[in-house]
Amino acid sequence: MDEPFDAKVFGKWDYDVEIHDEGLKRYITLSPILIPHSGGRHEAHRFWKIKQNIVERLINKSMRSGAVKRKVSGRFVRRAGGLTGKKHKAYNNVKESFDIINKKTNKNPLEVLIMAIENSSPREETTTIAYGGVKYHQAVDISPQRRVDVALKNISLGASARAFKSKTSYAKALADEIMSAHERDIKSFAVGKKEEIERIAKSAR
């Protein structure tokens, strides 16, 4: 009798990773799959992206073109034609970045990614409230799903900023950004944005 197939991340690393942040456990999906590609089956249903594997969500975020109307690390980042819309190329870049993380840390790259998300997901932000014709900022708690979204977005944007107009490949930049966020290093773009968001929210309480 054949043994059951054991699905691993890119065929190398186990999905058996502990999530320490209780608020994010339901929203970080680590269901074992052979290839992190769902074909957009969650797109038509609201909030169903929490069922999407976290590795695929990182791949999808890495296909973003960069900032549109605001600067990232003081620059307008443009990556059109790089990974935008090219899922297979983004898949290979994330796979290469996981290899780099494993080589440098001797840890499961998925474990490093989960810790990076936990360290770079803000818990509080501000919203604009209009009262009596006057607009002011009010601090609000962030939903767990948005916390994961913001963390993944800032990790991918931070990698884009590291690779933009430099000799550093996107895979290497992504690996560096994930490892920096894992160590809670303030040099990490994602961790820096988290601190900034929470600092602004604290002043608006």
Q: Residue 17 is inside which H or E element, if any?
A: none
Which pLDDT score is estimated for 73? 62
Identify the CATH number of the domain in which residue 85 sits: 1.10.455.10
7 located within any domain: no
pLDDT digits (tens, 9 = 90+) for 101-112: 999 999 999 999
Q: Give the residue numbers spanning the domain of 97.
A: 22-203
User: Is residue 6 a part of any domain in this protein?
Assistant: no
Number of structural domains (the chain) is 1
- Residue 131 three-state SS: strand
Bridge partners for 72 per DSSP: 75
Asked if residue 3 belongs to a domain, the reply is no
CB atoms within 10 A of CB 102: 17
What does residue 10 show for φ and ψ, rounded to 5 degrees? 55, 25
Average pLDDT over residues 48-69: 80
Decide if 8 is inside a domain: no
16 within some domain: no
Residue type, 23: G
Q: Is residue 48 part of a domain?
A: yes
Q: How many CB atoms lie within 10 A of CB 13?
A: 19
Q: What is the mean pLDDT of residues 148-168?
A: 87
Q: Is residue 13 included in any domain, yes or no?
A: no
User: How far, in Å, CA of 191 to CA of 172, rounded?
Assistant: 18
Domain assignment present for residue 77? The answer is yes
Tens-digit pLDDT profile for residues 8-44: 888 888 888 889 988 898 899 888 888 888 877 777 7
Confidence band (pLDDT; 50, 70, 90) for 52?
A: confident
* Structure confidence by residue, pLDDT tens digits, 70-98: 666 666 666 544 556 678 888 999 999 99
Q: Which helix (H) or strand (E) holds 146?
A: helix 144-163
Q: Quote the strand ranges of the chain, DSSP E.
A: 124-131, 134-141
Taking the C-alpha atoms of residue 27 and residue 53, their distance in angstroms, rounded to an integer, is 10
Residue 84: per-residue pLDDT: 62
